[in-house]
Amino acid sequence: MKVFVTDLAQYENQVITSFFLVHSRDARATREGKPYLALRLGDLTGVVEARVWEETDDIAAFDANDFVKVQARVELYRDQLQLKVEKLRRARPDEIQVADYFPRTTKDVEALYAELRRVAESVSDPHLRSLLASVLDDAEIAGKLKQAPGAKHLHHAYLGGLLEHIVSLCQLAERVAAHYPFLNRDLLLTGVVLHDLGKIDELSYPAADAAPDAARALDYTTDGRLLGHIVLELEVANRKMDAIPGFPPELRRLVRHLIASHHGRIEFGSPVLPQTLEALVLHYLDDLDSKIEAMRSSLAAAEPDAEWTGWNRALERFIYRPRLPACPAAGGAAADLPESAAPLFEEKKSSK
């Protein structure tokens, strides 16, 4: 029987047998010089630290990104659950259901992609519309974009998360552009669609039809480590713009600036600061959507009756769940909250 990471608390001080994906494997030693193996094992519900104190031939015969069968005692160490491994071997392909090991968006990716196409087709500038069509009609890009995570850890860190994040930003950008009519809506939406496109090649993740022996934990590719997604998406944008006859040089400059500056600050990875209205708006919307998702995921992962979440690495804080009387949520937003928080809110009833 598969025991998921989120179920481990039920088995504290007990021995469990289950299957996990190896996220990392490191040979270490205690202060006294005793060697041990430090593992991070995971599935679609999370990751748990594990320790191997006695290595055997079976334990030596696996590596990171392998699936393993583990017999281990569930222990509490420094207020965190940890597995003390007693037996471990590499799993056979017929023992693994790949879908059990990779969190995935709960949204329909085909519907999300259709919405992204709608946004692209609504762009009135012919050169920007052609640019977006060239990107979204590219079969290789489309396949990756429907599967890629938004990040390894910080936000939308699940399969399909990148597409979900981009579509969410498109909807935010359309609202902001309507509120500030002096913004260039076409340029802002183009920046939204392209701003994280390099993540499809910056991160490694399993293909939609991956077999167990081809599935890989979320990590960075070699190009991702050496170049980063901003450089990678600039290359894609430049290539696509080069192929569009008469693409205006000033428009090209503005598109490239949106991509290059979207992290907002040099210390956050952007080579330049946002220096146009649209670039500034893109940065803050991107930051908003990322942080809200990071907070939402922490609330969803917390115990239903817990006042506080665990430590949120992305936001560098614990998150408090207020116990308030039911209050209205505009537009039925309560449906999108984590189940544990949703009962605190009620959909606003129309008085008409």
This model's pTM is above 0.85: no
pLDDT at 332 over 50: no
Highest mean pLDDT among 55-64, 215-224, 241-250: 241-250
pLDDT at 207 over 80: no
| Range name among 9-18, 108-117, 325-334 with the lowest pLDDT average | 325-334
d(CA 134, CA 139): 10
pLDDT at 75: 93
Maximum C-alpha span of the chain: 74
Report the pLDDT averaged over residues 162-191.
96
Could you tell me the pLDDT band of residue 1, with boundaries at 50, 70 and 90? confident
Report the pLDDT averaged over residues 146-167.
87
Provide the phi-psi class of 290: left if phi over 0, else alpha when psi is between -120 and 50, else beta. alpha
Report the pLDDT averaged over residues 124-143.
97
Provide the phi-psi class of 316: left if phi over 0, else alpha when psi is between -120 and 50, else beta. left
Write the pLDDT tens digit of every residue in 279-321: 999 999 999 998 988 888 888 877 778 889 888 777 889 999 8
| Range name among 82-96, 208-222, 237-251, 252-266 with the lowest pLDDT average | 208-222
| Range name among 64-68, 84-88, 94-98, 342-346 with the lowest pLDDT average | 342-346
The answer to whether 64 touches 12, Cβ cutoff 8 Å, is no
Domains of the chain: 5-100 (2.40.50.140), 109-292 (1.10.3210), 303-347 (no CATH)
Q: Which residues on neighbouring strands pair with residue 80, listed in sequence order?
A: 77
Q: Which residues on neighbouring strands pair with residue 73, listed in sequence order?
A: 15, 84
The answer to whether 25 touches 39, Cβ cutoff 8 Å, is yes
Report the pLDDT averaged over residues 257-279.
93
